[in-house]
Chain A
């Protein structure tokens, strides 16, 4: 997607991004909390489902705001959380790393 920064749709998208930024950040917070719980072997079913939903929603929306890499990362998390028995224990550090990358990406979007 190539948008001129001056185009009316780019400006409108920036306004919508600002409007929905708290929701994006909340979804990332859900992923961060789930990663922390998983590392401590305390991921509840509810938290597991919420993390799956948050990853799915981020995967669906970040690319629309130009954050294509964000969609790729969120999709990786969605796949990990989609496993019926929860993420692979070997992936514990990746869950936290990807959530941290998503936070950086979201907070640095201009």
Chain B
């Protein structure tokens, strides 16, 4: 079954490689957004099966975007995986405490990103 994933990341290169990876390796449908605000709108209109959400973005960052997603009944139950280049233990704990499904790390391997996501979400 082709899953639909929303990628929210302000960095064009990361967004495009992640999209390429999930479309090519896993055959999933990918929707993208380049900001937290755009991500909230895309999530509500497209109802993805999961959201891959960057942590550090200008304006509304990942944790703020996640809280807004949870406030809206339309998007509240969509699984969210945070994507971050922050590797310090205190950052990891802080992100995990938000209540997201998982925290994935940059740089990711384009060949295995979809497996990581599928494994977390029980799609295997």
**A residues in contact (CB < 8 Å) with B:** 1, 3, 8-9, 12-13, 16, 19-20, 23-24, 56-57, 59-65, 68, 71, 75
Contacts and interface: CB of A to CB of B under 8 A. Distances in A.
Contacts of B85: 56-57, 59-60
16 contacts: A9-B20, A9-B21, A9-B24, A9-B111, A13-B20, A16-B17, A16-B20, A56-B56, A57-B85, A59-B107, A60-B107, A61-B17, A64-B17, A64-B109, A65-B17, A71-B107
Interface of B is mostly: loop
Given A8-B24, A60-B85, 6 more contacts: A13-B17, A59-B106, A60-B106, A61-B11, A64-B17, A68-B107
A12 B24 contact: yes
A9 B110 contact: yes
Interface of B: 11-14, 16-17, 20-21, 24-25, 56, 85, 87, 106-111
Secondary structure at the A interface, as helix, strand, loop or mixed, is: helix
